[in-house]
Amino acid sequence: MQTDALLAEEIRQVYIESDLLYSQLEVEQAINRMAAEITEALGEQDPVLFCVMNGGLVITGQLLTRLNFPLQVSYLHATRYRNTTSGHELEWKVPPMIDFTGRPVLIIDDILDEGHTLAEILDFCRAQGASRVYSAVLINKLHERKARPDLQAEFVGLEIEDRYIFGYGMDYKGYWRNAPGIYAVKGM
Ligand SMILES: O=P(O)(O)OC[C@H]1O[C@H](OP(=O)(O)OP(=O)(O)O)[C@H](O)[C@@H]1O
Ligand SMILES: Nc1nc2[nH]cnc2c(=O)[nH]1
């Protein structure tokens, strides 16, 4: 078990030594494009949006004020990494709490990595009667380990190489979700 002081030092060091993959300006330009694409596809459809907590918090908020059409928004909470850097089975903490039967649903998350999280959430929403299920992710990680070979989000902000990243909602051991860019951990 790490002491608090050691962890605090590690957290600072990780930020100092990280590689900046996308600046705040580049991320905001990507979010502008995502918002335009979502508006084009869903602007007339009265959708229900779900933020996937915790990582989806920042991208959902940043998208919302760029979506100028009628929609409802809520959240669900599912976690697979639990503040670590490797995934386990998906744990549902809070299921969707708005009834979306017969309506289109947009799931918003920070990252599509192996995709187990998104695949299970999309299956759940389909089984619960959404008329159609869309997904939006700020980051798609490029590798050959996707949970399903055809798994893609309809709306993608940016793509990254196969490294462990943080910032814009994504954490390193529960920290740095607030980092104002997309950063890769040194050596990971
Ligand atoms: O594509 P996958 O390999 O399934 O990984 C993606 C998921 O991992 C992260 O969540 P995490 O479980 O770390 O919880 P968090 O949202 O609280 O960070 C992220 O927010 C995605 O939901
Ligand atoms: N913070 C963070 N969470 C993830 N969940 C799945 N992949 C990642 C990643 O690269 N970074």
Q: What's the CA-to-centroid distance between 63 and ligand 1, angstroms? A: 19
Residue 142: both structure tokens together: 């490029």
Best residue among 75, 83, 111 to mutate for probing ligand 1, ranked by most atoms within 8 Å of CB: 111
- Domain-located, residue 10: no
Domain range for 65 is 20-184
- Asked if the structure places residue 5 within a domain, the reply is no
pLDDT at residue 83, rounded to an integer:
74
What number is the ipTM of this complex? 0.97
Work out which ligand 1 atom sits closest to the CA atom of 119. Answer: 4
Q: What is the pTM of this model?
A: 0.95
Ligand nearest to the CA of 170: 2
Give kind and range of the element (H or E) at residue 104.
strand 104-112
CATH number reported for the structural domain that contains residue 133 in this entry: 3.40.50.2020
**Residue nearest to ligand 2 atom 2, measured at CA:** 170
Would 88 be classed as within a structural domain? Answer: yes
pLDDT > 70 fraction of the chain, expressed in percent and rounded: 99
pLDDT confidence tier of residue 187, bands split at 50, 70 and 90: confident
Q: Give, in degrees to the nearest 5, the angle at Cα 22 between 62 and 166.
A: 75
Q: Is residue 54 part of a domain?
A: yes
* Structure confidence at residue 85 (pLDDT): 78
Within-domain flag for 84: yes
Under a CB-based contact definition with an 8 Å cutoff, are residues 181 and 23 in contact?
A: yes
Q: Is residue 49 part of a domain?
A: yes
| pLDDT-based confidence at residue 1 (cuts at 50, 70, 90) | low
Q: How far is the CA of 45 from the centre of ligand 2 (A)?
A: 31
Q: Which of 14, 80, 85, 117 to mutate to test the pocket of ligand 2 (most atoms within 8 A of CB)?
A: 85
Indicate the number of domains in the chain.
1
Residues 64-101: pLDDT tens digits?
Answer: 999 999 999 999 999 888 777 777 888 899 999 999 99
Q: What is the pLDDT at residue 183? A: 98
Residue 105 in any domain: the answer is: yes
